[in-house]
Chains A and B, each alone.
Chain A
Amino acid sequence: MEINFYSVSGIFLILLLVIWLLRLALRLQKETAEITEMDKDRQSQQVSNLDKQQISRLVKRGRKKHTRLVNPPKNSATGIKTTLLSIAFTVIAIRANAQIPAGDNGVLTSPGMLIMLALVLLPIIAAVFFICIKLNSLVKKTRYQRLWKEAKYITEMVDCNDAFYEEMLKRKKALDFTLNNAELAGNQKPADEKGMVHNITEVNTIRFFASKRRAAKKHDVDQAVVKLIIWFLGTATFWLVVGTSIGEYLGIKFVSPDVDHVSWLSFGRLRPVHTNMVFWGWSSLAMIGLGYYVVTTVSNAAIFSIKKGYQTLVLLNTAVIAGSLSLMAGINNSGGEYREYTWPVMGLFALGIVITLINFIQTIASRKTKEIYISNWYIIAAMMFLTVIVTVGYIPWWQNGLGETIIQGYYMHQAVGMWFMLFNLGLIYYFLPQQLNTPIYSYSLGILAFWSQILFYTLIGTHHFIFSSIPWWLQTVAIVGSMGMLIPVFSGTTNFLMTFRGNYNKISRSYTLPFYLTGIIFYFTGSTQGTAEAFRSTNLVWHFTDFTVAHSHITMYGIIAFMLWACIYTLVPRLTGREPRQGLVGAHFWMALIGILFYTIPLMIGGTLKGMAWVQGKPFIDGLIMMAPYWLWRAIGGSLMWGSHLIFAWNMYTMVDTKTEAEIKQEIFERIEQADTLKVNPIA
C-alpha cells in the first residue's frame, strides 16, 4: 500500500469536481422540473414569498386591468434533455474516478506509470472542469428563465383571476398590520402601590461590567454567633494571604534559587510552612467558621456554646503560628507530608477540633427538626474522622520501618479527602440549594456518595507509594479504591449539576454562583484525575513529577478554596448586611481561575514530559533543564492567584468592617430625630 501525496491530492481534486458536477446536475433538474407544476399550493407559496412593496405594486396593477385569464405557459421539453445530459456526465465522472484506485495499488511505484496516469488524468480533469463551467452557465440561464416565467405568471393571474386578486388583497392587509405598543401596558402611567420595587437606578451609558443580583438581605442571626463566624473567617483570610505569599515565594525559588540564603526561608523549610498554613490555617478555619452557621441553621437550633467556639478559634490559630515558626526554625516531625507539625503542635489543633465536634454534636442533639440534614452528616463525619486520622498518624506504636510509610500514605490522603473534601461537601449541600433557591436534586445520591466515599476513600492512601517496597497487595487495594472513588465523585457531581439544571441563567446574574460552578467542575476533574493517576501505568510516568503538584493544587485550590469562597460570599453579606463591590468579586474570580489554569496546565504538561524522559532513561539533569519554562509559567499563574487573594482580603474587609450607605443614613436620621426631640422638650 503505497499512496503518495500526488495521487491522494489528484483523487481529492477529482472528487471535488464530481461533487460540483452532481450539485449542478441536481440544480438543473430542479429548475426545469418546477415550471411544470404550478398548482394551488404553489400559487399561495408564491404569494407569501412576495414582500410588501411587490404586493402593493401588483395590487395597483390589478385595479387598472381586469381581463380574462390566459392559459399558463406550457413546460418545455428542454428540462428532460438537460437532466439526461447531466446524468450522463455524472456517470462518466464516476467512471473516471473509479479508475484511480484500480491503478493505485503497487503500480504507482514505477515512475513510468505515474507519468502515464498523469497524462490520462490531466485531460479528463480538464474536460470535467470545462463541462462544469458550461453546465454552471446553463443552470444560471435556466434559473433566470424560471423566475421570469413565475413573475410573469403571477402578473397575469392578478390581471385575470378575481379569486387570486382577493387573496392578494388579504395578504396586503396582513402585511400592513402593526402593533400599537399599548396592547399589554395600557395607557395608564405605572405606579408601585405595594412597595415592591427598591433602589431604582437607571443606567443610560454603556455598562462595562454587567450588574449582578444583590445579596439576600441581612438575616436575623444572633450577633454573638455572627461575631464568632467573622473571627473564624477573618483569621482564615489572614492565613490565606500569608500562606499563599509563602507559596508564591517558593514558586519564585524554582526560577531563581539564589534569591536568598537565609536558613529560615530556605525551600525545604518553607514548603511545609506553606502547605500546612493553607491546610490548617486557611481552609480548616474557614470551614469551621462556615460550619458554625450551617450546623445550627439546618438543626434549627441555637449553638450549644459560643465559648467553645472561641476556644477552638484560639487553639487552631495557636497551632498554626507555633507550627509555622517551629518549621522555619527546623523543628519538624520527620517530614511526612502534612504531618510536619510536631505532636505538641498538632495536639493543640486536634484539641480544638474535638471541642468544636462536641459543640456541634450537642447542637444537633437539641435540634428541632426530626431528621438530620445531610450537611450535618458530612460535617460531623469529617470532624470525627480527622480526630481518628491525627491520632493514628501521631501514635508511635506502629511507625517503625515501613510502618511509618503505610501510616503516612493513610494519613496524608485521609487528611485531604476525609477532612477537607467531606466537610466542604457538607457545606455545599447547604449553600448551593440556598443560593440557587431550589431544593437539592437528590437526597439519596447524597447518601450514596456519603457511604461510598467512606468505603473507597479510606483505602486509597498507599497509592502514593506504588512500586515502593510496601506490600504489593496493599498497593493494589489502593488502586482499586481509587477506581471506586468514581462512584461518590460521579454521584456528587451529578447531584450538584442536576440541582443547577434549569438555573443556569442565574449564573450570569450572580457573583457567587460562578464560584460554586467552578468548584463543582474542579471537583469532577480533579477527583477523576486522582483516579487516573493511581493506575500503575500512569503512575510510572507521573509519580514524583510536578504533575502531582498540579493535581494537589487543582484539588485543594480548585475544589476547596473555590467552594469556600462561594460559601463566604453567600454567607457574610447575610450576616453583616454589607456587600463587597461586584467588580472586585469579579476580579477575584477571574484572577483566581486564570491563575490556577496557568499554574496547573504547564505543570501537567511539563510533569508528563519529565516522566517520559525518565522512562526513556534520559539523564536526570535533562528533566530539570526542560522544566524551566514550565516553572516560569507556574510562577506567573501563582502571582495571579496571589493577587486575587489580596482582592479577596479587601472584599472581606468591606463585607465586615465598612458602613453601607443605608447604615450611615440611618444614623443621620436618628441624630436628626434626637435633635428634634431636644428642641421640643428642652428639659436639660
Chain B
Amino acid sequence: MYNNHKLLFALALCFFVALTMFVAIIPALDIQRNNAPLPGSRPLTKLETEGKIVFIAEGCIACHTQQVRNVDMDKVWGLRPGIAADYARNERMDVWRNTATLMGSERTGPDLTNIGNRQPSTVWHLMHLYNPRSVVAASVMPSYAWLFEVKDYNFPEDVTVNVPEEFRKGITGKIVASHRALALLAYLKSLKQVPLPGGKPAPIFLYAKNEAAAATNSPGKNTPAKPAYNGEALYATNCQTCHQGNGEGLLGAFPPLKGSKVVLNDNPEVQVTIIMQGYNGRVSEGYGIMPPVGTNNNLSPGEIAAIINHERGNWGNNSKKVTEEEVAKIIASLKKSK
C-alpha cells in the first residue's frame, strides 16, 4: 500500500470523506430536516431582511455573536438558552450568499440575540450607529457614518439624528438616517428571543454560581442565602448606555437621572412604573421613548431595588432608599391594574 500511490491516496481520501459525513454532513442534514421555527416567531419583513443584508455586508459578525449559551454567564444576553429551533428560519437568501445563521465566534461587542428587547430605543441605536462613542464613551465599535446623509433641510418623513456637537465634526446640516440605516435598525429591533410554546420548560443555564455557593456555604441553614445585588453593576448593564455612568443622560436624547424629580421623589411608585412599563412623557422635549427595561430584561424585584437605590444614592441624589418588598408590591399592583 505504501508504494502504490493510487491506493494510498484513495484510502486517505475515503477515510477523510467518511469522517466528514459522520461529523458534518449527516448531522447538518439531520438538524435541518428535524427542525421547525417556534410558533411565536415570525419571518423577517422585507425591510428587516434588507437590514440583515446590511448587517452581513458590514461584517458585524466579527464582533457580535447571536447565541445565548446554556451557561450562567450568558444570562445577561437572553431569558433562556438558545435552542436549534431559534435558528430554523435562517435560509439561503439569494444565489450569491450562503445561509446567514450569524452565530459568531467573537464577543468584542455585546451579544445581539435579544437586542430588540434589551435595547428597543430608535434614538439610541441611530446615535450609536452614527458614532458609538456618542453614547458609550469606552466603545471601540466603528462609526457607520456612511449610513447617514447630511441634508440642509429635512423632509417630514426623514429620521433625523441629534448627534452631540463634539461628534458632528463640523457638519452643520441635518444628519438623516439613510434607508440602509433604517433597515439595519429594523433588523436589530427584530432580534428578540421568542418564548417557548405552551409553558415548555426551557433548558437550564449551567454553572450557576449562586446555587453552588449557597449549597457549599450554608450547609447548616435551611433557607438559601439571598443573593446580594450589585446596584452599580446592574445599572451599568441595563441603564448606563442611555443615562450614562454619571447619571447626566445625553442632551436631546436621554434625560438625566441626576436631580430628576422622579428619582428624588421619596415615593418609588413612579420610578418603578417607568422601569417596568416604559415612558414617553418627555418626547415633546426631544427625549427618546424609554423602553420597559425591567420587563424586557426580566429583572427581579431585588435587582430593580438595587438599581433604584444606586440611582437614589449617587451623583448628588439623596432620596429615600427602597426595599425589595416595596418594589415587589408595586409590581404586583401594576400587574393587577392591567
Binding site for B on A (CB under 8 A): 253-254, 257-258, 261-263, 266-269, 271-272, 327, 330-337, 339-340, 342-344, 361, 364-365, 367, 370-372, 376-377, 380-381, 384-385, 388, 392, 394, 396-410, 418, 451, 454-455, 458-459, 461-462, 464-471, 474, 477, 540, 544-546, 548-549, 614-615, 617-622, 624-625, 628, 631
A411's closest neighbor in chain B, by CB?
B24
A332-B59, A392-B25, A621-B136 are known contacts. Are A400 and B32 too (CB-CB below 8 A)?
A: yes
Is B31's CB under 8 angstroms from A403's CB? yes
Q: Roughly how many angstroms separate A357 CA and B134 CA in the complex, as a whole number?
A: 53
Q: Chain B residues near A361 (CB, 8 Å)? A: 5, 9
Is B139's CB under 8 angstroms from A624's CB? yes
For A271, give its contact among B59, B65, B91 (CB under 8 Å).
B59
Is A399's CB under 8 angstroms from B98's CB? yes
Highest count of chain A CB atoms <10 Å: which of B2, B105, B133: B105
B261 → chain A closest CB, angstroms: 27
B52's closest neighbor in chain A, by CB?
A334
Main secondary structure of the interface of A (DSSP, over half): helix
Is B56's CB under 8 angstroms from A332's CB? yes
Q: Chain A residues near B31 (CB, 8 Å)? A: 401-403, 406, 470-471
Question: What are 19 sample pairs from A and B whose C-beta atoms fall under 8 A apart?
Answer: A258-B131, A261-B143, A267-B63, A268-B61, A271-B62, A332-B56, A334-B100, A340-B59, A342-B97, A344-B96, A365-B5, A400-B90, A401-B101, A402-B87, A404-B98, A407-B28, A468-B67, A470-B27, A621-B138
Q: Roughly how many angstroms separate A342 CA and B93 CA in the complex, as a whole number?
A: 13
B17's closest neighbor in chain A, by CB?
A388
A316 → chain B closest CB, angstroms: 21
Q: Roughly how many angstroms separate A471 CA and B69 CA in the complex, as a whole number?
A: 12
Q: Chain A residues near B206 (CB, 8 Å)? A: 467
Q: Chain B residues near A470 (CB, 8 Å)? A: 27, 31, 84
A24 → chain B closest CB, angstroms: 53
B59 → chain A closest CB, angstroms: 3
Top 10 nearest A-B pairs (CB, nearest first) are A268-B59, A544-B107, A619-B236, A330-B57, A467-B69, A403-B28, A334-B100, A410-B24, A458-B19, A335-B61
Q: Chain A residues near B225 (CB, 8 Å)? A: none
Q: Chain A residues near B58 (CB, 8 Å)? A: 266, 268-269, 330
Highest count of chain A CB atoms <10 Å: which of B74, B76, B138: B138
Q: Chain B residues near A615 (CB, 8 Å)? A: 72-73, 207, 209
Is A268's CB under 8 angstroms from B63's CB? yes
B71's closest neighbor in chain A, by CB?
A467
B140 at interface by CB-CB < 8 Å = yes
Q: Chain B residues near A467 (CB, 8 Å)? A: 69-71, 74, 206
Is A469's CB under 8 angstroms from B24's CB? no
Q: Chain B residues near A474 (CB, 8 Å)? A: 23, 27
Q: Chain A residues near B12 (CB, 8 Å)? A: 377, 380-381, 384, 454
Q: Roughly how many angstroms separate A615 CA and B206 CA in the complex, as a whole number?
A: 12
Q: A331-B57, A404-B100, A628-B138 are in contact. List 5 more A-B contacts (CB 8 A).
A: A377-B12, A385-B16, A465-B103, A468-B82, A540-B73
A372-B5, A401-B35 are known contacts. Are A257 and B139 too (CB-CB below 8 A)?
A: yes
B171 → chain A closest CB, angstroms: 12
Highest count of chain A CB atoms <10 Å: which of B3, B23, B236: B23
B75 → chain A closest CB, angstroms: 8
Q: Roughly how many angstroms separate A332 CA and B29 CA in the complex, as a whole number?
A: 24
Highest count of chain A CB atoms <10 Å: which of B24, B29, B69, B74: B24
Interface residues of B in 88-139 (CB under 8 A from A): 88-92, 96-103, 105-108, 110, 131-133, 136, 138-139
Is A272's CB under 8 angstroms from B107's CB? no
